[in-house]
Chains A and B, each alone.
Chain A
Amino acid sequence: MEGVQMHLISKEMLEKMPSMEKLRMILDNVKEGKIVVLETGLTPEEEAKLIEMTMLEIDHENFIGIEVESYPVKERSVFSKLFGKPKGRLTVIGPANRLKTLEKQADVIKALVQV
């Protein structure tokens, strides 16, 4: 059966992984053409680091970058700003030549995956 492989990573597994290990795992899978779904997503700092790492690995032939689908982070209270960690929401990451955003709203994301 032909298709696109998807990796669905649980919140528990993501919480155990250090940031760099998480980002490396995402990028390695995406470069192999897989779609990665993260139950809790990435922090804003991790998202920025992922973009930075992606730029370093674009080779202009086989890998042209990533497509990331995630919702905006909800507004945080003063208490959580001081003592909490910003938490990402469900995030889908795939190779830019396979995953395309169709429509994005505050709580709904529609995307197209090319086989």
Chain B
Amino acid sequence: MAQTRVTMMNDPITQGAGPEARYRDFLSEGRFMIQRSASTGKHVFYPRTMAPGTGQTDLEWVEASGRGTVYSFSTVRRSASEGGDHNIAIVELAEGPRTMTRVIGCEPDEVFIGMEVSARIDEQDGEPIVFFVAAPNGDKT
């Protein structure tokens, strides 16, 4: 009887960091990277293995412009001992996708829908995180 030899094969597609881990690695290097489908030009965020809905697998990493507009916002009320009130915003990136974030560098009640903001990579609990600040020449009215 011939002997069969079993060889463990690893899936070549899933070797190395996946999209979410790549994103975090880029952030650690100080780069806010998002994905774009080479064939459709459509941007994707948060990072995926393929374009959501349409399934293109030709996603490439591109540096986000960092420009965005506040789509909606809320002030989360917290006591001073919890760190005080803070903003939560949904920002629409200039490239199209939206992200949850915080607008920092101003009082929560100074944030408004339509406010132009720009991304800033900060650090929270030892991990990189993307916040937004009022754009330098942004619409302040």
Do A and B truly interact? no
> Which residues on B are within 8 Å of A, measured CB to CB?
none
Residues on A lying within 8 angstroms of B by beta carbon are none
